[in-house]
Amino acid sequence: MARSRRMSVQKRLRERKKAEQAELKRVTRRRPEGVERAPGGQVAAREDLEGYGVVLALADRRDEP
């Protein structure tokens, strides 16, 4: 009987540790309140998209017929 109590205590400690780690992860990923973006705002700059090849660069547009 003593063993089962010790096991349940260890289980609760493991669960608490996991919950604390998850909370710490959420806090570190959360942005500061002053830096919030407006919903639907622009995420990447045009230069970033051109670098990834998503948007054609200005030089590429001039070459098109």
Instruction: Point out the least confidently predicted range of 5-14, 21-30, 38-47, 53-62.
Output: 53-62
pTM for the complete prediction?
Answer: 0.41
For the purposes of burial, counting CB atoms within 10 Å of the CB of 50, is it exposed (0-12), middle (13-18) or buried (19 or more)? middle
CA dihedral 12, 18, 23, 25 (to 10 degrees): 170
What per-residue confidence (pLDDT) applies to 61?
A: 53
pLDDT at 15 > cutoff 90:
yes
Q: Which domain holds residue 1?
A: 1-32
Task: Specify if 41 maps to a domain.
Answer: no
Q: Give the SS3 label for residue 44.
A: coil
- Predicted pLDDT at 17: 96
Q: Could you tell me if residue 43 is inside a domain?
A: no
Number of domains in the chain: 1
53 phi, psi to nearest 5 deg: 85, 10
Residue 28, domain member (yes or no): yes
The model's pLDDT over 36-50, given as tens digits with 9 standing for 90+, comes to 566 666 677 778 888
What pLDDT score was predicted for residue 35? Answer: 57
Instruction: Return the percentage of the chain with pLDDT > 90, whole number.
Output: 25
Any domain includes 52 = no
